[in-house]
Amino acid sequence: MADTASFDGGGAARTPDPLLVGTVVWLASELMFFSGLFAAWFTLRGGATEWPPEGVELETARTAAATVVLLASSVTMHLAVAAAHRDERRAATRWIGVTVALGAVFLANQALEYAQASFTIGDHAYGSIFYLMTGFHGLHVLGGLVFLLVVAGVVGGRSRAPAGRTLETAAAYWHFVDVVWVAMFTVVYVIS
């Protein structure tokens, strides 16, 4: 049986990077969670006679603008990682700050939409799954913002440990949240 271990350039066996493995497992579990929400959406939609129900009005144009803002935050997160790899800690911290600000704008739009919605979570199945999907995504964005603020504190603080890998993990999560939102926006706002 062939040996399946990977080797570095000198012939020594390498072990998988624990941070990379943990990040992949974490994001895979998040993918399964959101897949379940999408499955619920399509199951409820498939059984409904009218989808969305009469009287449901979504702020599609404003939410599309908020989606562009969220996508821009992926660009600024990428710039933060690039700055960290160049060991430009102040620049990395600034780009994280811009990312956090853009994420906060996205969440503010979501809060405004909830406040102005013509339906509630208890009105019908559409309301339940709409608030469940977008609410859990919003919680993930909020958690990502807290995570980014902590990382900014570490990167901009006294630590001189390399910041690139830490920011790569934060960026992987942030990009994942953005990609999930693009799918969610498409399903809920565009093709519903």
Q: What is the mean pLDDT of the chain?
A: 92
Q: Is the pLDDT of residue 26 over 50?
A: yes
Q: Is the pLDDT of residue 15 over 90?
A: no
Sign of CA dihedral 125, 105, 60, 54: positive
Helix (H, G, I), strand (E, B) or coil at 101: helix
Least confident of 17-31, 66-80, 168-182: 17-31
> 162 or 68, which is more confident?
68
In angstroms, the Cα distances linking 124 to 48, 52, 55, 131, 142 are 11, 10, 11, 11, 26
pLDDT in tens, 144-182: 999 999 999 988 888 777 778 889 999 999 999 999 999
> 4 or 42, which is more confident?
42
Q: Tell me the Cα Rg of the chain.
A: 20
pTM of the model: 0.88
pLDDT in tens, 100-144: 999 999 999 999 999 999 999 999 999 999 999 999 999 999 999
Q: Percent helix, strand, coil in the chain (nearest 5)?
A: 75, 0, 25
> Tell me, what's the pLDDT at 1?
47
The residue type of 168 is E
> Tell me, what's the pLDDT at 61?
97
Please state the domain extents for the chain: 18-51+59-190
CA gap 103, 99 in Å, rounded: 6
> Tell me, what's the pLDDT at 7?
55
> Tell me, what's the pLDDT at 11?
62
CATH class of the structural domain 18-51+59-190: mainly alpha
Angle, nearest 10°, between helix axes 164-185 and 125-156? 160
